[in-house]
Amino acid sequence: MAIPRRLPRLPTATGATKRLAGTLASLLLRMSRRRGASRRDIVSSLLASSSPTAPQTQVFDLLIRTYTQSRKPREAFEAFRLLLDHRVPIPASASNALLAALSRAGWPHLTAEAYRLVLSSNSEVNAYTLNIMVHNYCKILEFDKVDTVIFKMEKRCVFPDVVTHNVMIDARFRAGDVDAAMALVDSMANKGLKPGIVTYNSVLKGLCKHRRLDKAKEVFRAMGQCGVAADVRSFNILIGGFCRVGEVEEAVKFYKEMQQLGVKPDVMDRAAEYLREMRVFGLVPDGVIYTMVIGGFCRPGSMSEALRVRDEMVGCGCLPDVVTYNTLLSGLCKHHRLLDAEELLNEMKERGVTPDLCTFTALIHGYCREGNIEKAFQLFDTLLQQRLRSDAVTYNSLIDGMCRKGDLAKANELWDHMHAREIFPNHVTYSILIDSHCEKGQVEAAFSFLDEMVNKGIVPNIMTYNSIIKGYCRSGNVRKGQQFLQKMRQDNILPDLITFNTLIHGYIKEENMGEAFNVFNIMEKEMVQPDVVTYNMLINGYSEHGNVQEAGWLFKKMGAKGIEPDRYTYMSMINGHVAAGNSKEAFQLHDEMIHRGFAPDDKF
């Protein structure tokens, strides 16, 4: 259905009528996009539907902001120009969203063009507008244009604030102009602005980067006198700065001061400091200590730091052993850096460090997670050729990889291969196979693995039972899945949120809302707190079945329970009311949805 060239004009009004007009236009935006209309069509229709004496700026604000939230800055710019061509007043919130999106996309010159249009149209501007444009030009170090922006904005009584100065100070340091950066800091007091921790940390970072360490110490002391307490980042910047120039004693002083002030570094800050302290006292850390620190960086994914410590380790004449390499390889594979892991494996071999079972298992697991099963099996063949005895962990990675690929026949072959080599499956092996067969709806096969698991004395956990219930639901036997709850309780396994959500979803798929709601009541009686997913499934189910009254009751109930609705909740409620012809309720919910910061699903 095409958009009409002109919609019925909405009367200028206040109160409920005005609100209804605004929400109607907002809904029109979504509907028009769904029908594939161009931006020109959307703008023209919206203009035609609004009063010429009182254009609905909220709607046009929504239009531009929805484009930017959808990461479509060019479309937002096009709509912005169309609106300005029709002399529609654009609120600062919309123009700021556009400027920020264009700048974030890396289009400084298009950002400048949009800013020129904002000024030439006498649109509203504020401090946020100023900061976006200052940041836009500071990114490309065009300081003359920064000065021009500030000059023009001051004419409009919009003045630089602390954020503006933070951006400019950081840019001046990046440009290598330390004196200009410090002049900006000094100028803040004259303007009645007080530097905060972000300002000081930016200054400390810049001074340390340019090796102005005496000045950095001076600024650090001035912070305390100005009532700004140093944080862990302040100390880290100074400690790192002094260590880089070899002044480790000075770095240790700051580290001890940090401890005295009760500023707690994280675990890896502390570990890195221990390394520095050891060197201060003439002690050389051994491979065990280095490997522990490397492992600490690998766990949260700080791989650059982990590799830096490895380089430092080699530089100190301490050669990595197989444990060090395995730690790094596991970290790289875990964080999807397989190419780096391959390079490290080659380096390992070149240095005469022989890969062991842990090396191959880490790589096999990494390739299986990435879906590169062929490469994983090549490594597995190499492992066997080198007469390394694989274990259940290695097989688990391969079996899981084949199951993810959907090849249960190959997964079962690997299972047989394990038994032939007298490698006994563990709890993880059984869980993978049970879950994968249940995913395919092959509940009987899953049960055979469950029975074998129990017969071997391996106790199933809640995840295993949830997999079985999911299998029943996928195969259309939700009632059997619910009956299986009795077995869970007999085995002293209490159903959890996932158990109940799986059953509710299964009944809703079977269009049995009565049983779905019964499960909801059971979970509440058993003190299992429903989450937003639980409510969303039921609300959507009732809405699709035309029972918006029940959906509305659940919507209110979740609010009373302190569970925040999300975008899916609102869309389910809106669609239910639209289908039932309750336009007023749909408009109110849509308004509330936008007010809470949720963009409509139908992106413009």
Q: What is the per-residue pLDDT across 381-393, written as a single tens digit (0 to 9) for each?
A: 998 888 888 888 9
Cβ neighbours for 61, distance < 8 A, ≥ 6 positions apart: 90, 91, 93, 94
- 378 in any annotated domain: no
Rg of the chain over Cα atoms, rounded to whole angstroms, equals: 32
Supply 249's token pair.
């004693």
Residue 4 φ/ψ, nearest 5 degrees: -65, 150
Residue 286 has pLDDT above 60, yes or no: yes
Q: Give a yes or no: residue 140 inside a domain.
A: yes
Q: What are phi and psi of 543, to 5 degrees?
A: -60, -45
Residue 157 clears pLDDT 60, i.e. is over it: yes
CA dist 37 and 55 (Å) reads 21
Give a yes or no: residue 18 inside a domain.
Answer: no
Has residue 116 got a pLDDT over 80?
yes
Measured between alpha carbons, how far is residue 518 from residues 482, 526, 581 in Å? 11, 12, 28
Q: What average pLDDT does the chain have? A: 82
Residue 145 belongs to a domain: yes
Q: What's the total number of domains in the chain?
A: 1
Residue 449: both structure tokens together: 């693995």
> What confidence score (pLDDT) does residue 329 get?
93
Spatial distance between the Cα atoms of 77 and 236, rounded to a whole number of angstroms: 42
Whole-number Å distance between alpha carbons of 399 and 538: 36
Q: List the single range of 235-239, 241-245, 301-305, 307-311 with lowest mean pLDDT.
A: 241-245
User: Which range has the worst mean pLDDT, 82-96, 275-289, 589-603?
Assistant: 275-289
Provide the pLDDT for residue 569. Answer: 93
pLDDT band for 361, please (50, 70, 90 cuts): very high
Task: Identify whether 58 is part of a domain.
Answer: yes
Q: Is the pLDDT of residue 90 over 50?
A: yes
Q: C-alpha angle with apex 557: 551 to 562, nearest 5 degrees?
A: 130
Cβ partners under 8 Å of residue 483, min gap 6: none
Average pLDDT of span 390-407: 89
Answer whether residue 5 shows pLDDT above 50: no
- The stretch 139-163 carries a mean pLDDT of 92
pLDDT, one tens digit per residue, over 250-260 is 877 887 888 78
For residue 399, being part of any structural domain is answered with: no
The whole-number average pLDDT for the span 398-423 is 88
Q: Say whether pLDDT at 65 is over 80.
A: no
pLDDT at 477 over 60: yes
Instruction: State the average pLDDT over residues 558-579.
Output: 90
CATH number for the domain spanning 118: value is 1.25.40.10
- Beta-strand runs (E) in 137-232: none
Which pLDDT score, from 0 to 100, does residue 601 have? 57
Residue 95, domain extent: 46-160
The answer on pLDDT for 136 being more than 60 is yes
pLDDT over 70 percentage in the chain: 84
Residue 598 lies in a domain: no
Q: What is the mean pLDDT of residues 513-517?
A: 94
Q: Alpha helices of 9-142 — where are they, by DSSP H?
A: 15-34, 39-49, 57-69, 73-85, 92-104, 108-120, 127-139
Q: In which band, very low, low, confident or very high, does the pLDDT at 78 lie, cut at 50, 70 and 90?
A: confident
Residue 114 falls within a domain, yes or no? Answer: yes
* Residue 8: half-sphere exposure toward Cβ, Cα within 13 Å: 4
Q: Residue 10's pLDDT band (boundaries 50, 70, 90)?
A: very low
Point out the least confidently predicted range of 174-188, 266-280, 378-392, 557-571: 266-280
- Candidates 162, 176, 250; CA nearest to 206 is 176
Question: Which of 3, 74, 83, 88 lies closest to 37, judged by CA?
Answer: 3
d(CA 43, CA 76): 12
User: What's the angle, vertex CA 602, arms to CA 597 and CA 603, rounded to 5?
Assistant: 75
Q: Quick one: pLDDT at residue 497?
A: 93
The predicted pLDDT at position 500 comes to 95
Decide if 172 contacts 184 (C-beta within 8 A). yes
258: buried, middle or exposed (CB in 10 Å: 19+, 13-18, 0-12)?
A: buried
